[in-house]
Amino acid sequence: MFYVEILGMIPEMAKAEVQALAELGRGEVLGSDYLLVYGRVENIDVLSRLGLAHEYGILVGSFESIEDLIEYSEGIEWRKLISGTFAVRKERMLNCSYEVENIDKRVGAIINSQGLKVNLSKPDTIVRIYCGRKLWLGIRLREFKGKEFDARKADKRPFSRPIALPPRIARAMVNLTRATREVLDPFMGTGGMLIEAGLMGLKVYGIDIREDMVEGAKINLEYYGVKDYVVKVGDATRIREAFPGKTFEAIATDPPYGTSTTLPMDRDELYKRALESMYEVLEGYLSIAFPADFDAVEVAESIGFKVLERFYQRVHSSLSRYFYVMRV
């Protein structure tokens, strides 16, 4: 069993990302409690790819009273779960329905009584208690610190442009494709999507209609240590011309919205032609963003895509968008 504490920025998209990775790990999401998502998986390491998450770990149990949690904690052989020193940290979610003032100290005392040492400043293991509709007990395996993603923001890259998806969202979009081998971004820009995919060990392919963007993307990919890439000048409406005979396991992309860029044709026509081109070369899932005023469902389904999910985000006063998951 696993738990994931997701971010609250686009929670439904974050839950879908967990589900996508759980499927890759031969498992599934079983439910959620506010920002805690839980499920079962055979390969929990796949959750290390997460983008829209604070942390993940092993779910030890869920409880409907403090007394049940304490009693269960007393019966656990904590040495089998904890290596080195430990600390217990609780999280009150907005829907917390219990009085958990000293619950971390009570559980910590139980663990300490079994001979394990407390270290509140730099523990080797974090025991987590979440309070929501239920009480949840877990062992943290990894925390996703904001500074890791901040180091890959657009303004931190050697070649940068102000219009770019945040790295966490780009990573989630890649994960929503269920990619295990490769990802194509036909609107590559400065390479943000490819950086995230490459850091997850995927082979990345990208095209952009502008040569300066292609050269800049190469610089960025090398800067972040991504070596397994193929990027070239190309037209997203003619992907086959850029990669003759090639099909792709997955596509993740964020087309230009035309708000601060000059598009080569009418915006909606560009999107339609690009979707047609992607459909020709795609074997599996497409993760794509469009402005909210574009009827992506009707256009995509007329081409042959099956639209599985969409997630709304208001970016600012003049831009709202949907993130879509589709498949051929």
pLDDT tens, 75-92? Answer: 999 999 999 999 999 999
**Does 260 have pLDDT greater than 60?**
no
Work out the angle at residue 146's Cα, subtended by the Cα atoms of residues 140 and 150, and round it to the nearest 5 degrees.
150
List Cβ neighbours of 132 (8 Å cut-off, separation of 6 or more): 33, 34, 36, 93, 95, 96, 97
Per the structure block, which two tokens stand in for 20?
């996508």
pLDDT band with cut points at 50, 70 and 90 for residue 161: confident
303-326 average pLDDT score: 95
pTM of the model: 0.96
Angle at 112 between CA 108 and CA 114, to 5 degrees: 130
Please say if the pLDDT value at position 293 is more than 70.
yes
Region 251-275: mean pLDDT is 87
At CA 10, angle to CA 141 and CA 293, rounded to 5?
Answer: 150
